[in-house]
Chain A
Amino acid sequence: SQQGEEDPQALSIQEGENATMNCSYKTSINNLQWYRQNSGRGLVHLILIRSNEREKHSGRLRVTLDTSKKSSSLLITASRAADTASYFCATENTNAGKSTFGDGTTLTVKP
C-alpha cells in the first residue's frame, strides 16, 4: 500500500475559493513534498517541508506538517481555473530514503 494517502480524492470549487487537501502517512519521514500534475504531464514540485518544520508558504500555497498525527495539508488560497490539476504528496522514508506517493487529489476550479 502507498505510504501517503491524499484526502479528498476529488475536490470541486469555484474560482476565488480556497482549496484544502490533506495527506496522511504511516512511518517516520525525513520530509514531505507536494506536487502538481496537469493531465498527462510530469509532476511539478510545489513545496518541500522537512520533518522539523511545521509550516511553509510559497505564494498562494501554504503547507502544514503535523508529525505527531502523521499528516500534512496543502492550502491553495484564492484559487484560479489554472490550478485545476491533480495534487500529490510524497513522503521520504527515514529508513531507506525512498519516496512514495499517494494516489492524489483531483482539484477542479470552475471559472
Chain B
Amino acid sequence: KAGVTQTPRYLIKTRGQQVTLSCSPISGHRSVSWYQQTPGQGLQFLFEYFSETQRNKGNFPGRFSGRQFSNSRSEMNVSTLELGDSALYLCASRAGTGNTIYFGEGSWLTVV
C-alpha cells in the first residue's frame, strides 16, 4: 500500500506569489490534515478535510486555504506569500477519527 505522497518536495517562491501543494492520502483514507512546521515551533495545525468537507481549522490567516477532491486527494494554497511562510508543510491522512495518522515526507517551501 502506497504511503502519503506530497508534491512538490521542494520549492522556492517570491514574496507576494502564491503556491499550491498537493497531497495524495493512503488509499481508503478519507481524512486529510495539513500542518506547518517551522524550526522551534513544532507542528501547527492548519486544517482537516473529511469527505471533501473542512472539518477542523487551525488559527491561520485566510491566505491559507485548502480543499479535498472526491478521490480524497487534497491541495492547500497559500496566497500572497510572506517570508514567514517558509516552512515544511506536512500532509497526513487517516481512515477516520480515532485512527493512526500517517504523514507524508512534506513539502519544503522557501519564500525569498
Contact = CB atoms under 8 A, between A and B. Distances in A.
B98 interface: yes
A92 B97 contact: yes
Contact of A102 (B42, B97, B108): B42
Which of B35, B41, B101, B102 has the most A CB atoms < 10 Å from its CB?
B101
Which of B4, B88, B90, B97 has the most A CB atoms < 10 Å from its CB?
B97
A86 to B, nearest CB: 9
Contacts of B41: 103
Interface in A22-68: 30-31, 33, 35, 40-45, 48, 50
Interface string B72-97: 00000000000000001010100001
A74 interface: no
Interface residues on B, range: 20 to 34
A71 interface: no
30 contacts: A2-B42, A31-B98, A40-B106, A40-B108, A41-B105, A42-B4, A42-B103, A42-B104, A42-B105, A42-B106, A43-B43, A43-B90, A44-B103, A45-B101, A50-B98, A88-B43, A90-B101, A92-B97, A96-B56, A97-B55, A97-B56, A97-B97, A98-B48, A100-B45, A101-B35, A101-B42, A101-B45, A103-B40, A103-B41, A104-B42
B100 interface: yes
A45 B35 CA distance: 15
A49 to B, nearest CB: 11
A103 B42 contact: yes
A44 B105 CA distance: 9
Nearest to B91: A42
Chain A contact residues, majority secondary structure: strand
B45 A98 contact: yes
B68 interface: no
A69 to B, nearest CB: 22
Nearest to A35: B103
Given A48-B100, A101-B42, A101-B45, 7 more contacts: A33-B101, A42-B103, A42-B106, A45-B100, A96-B55, A98-B48, A98-B56
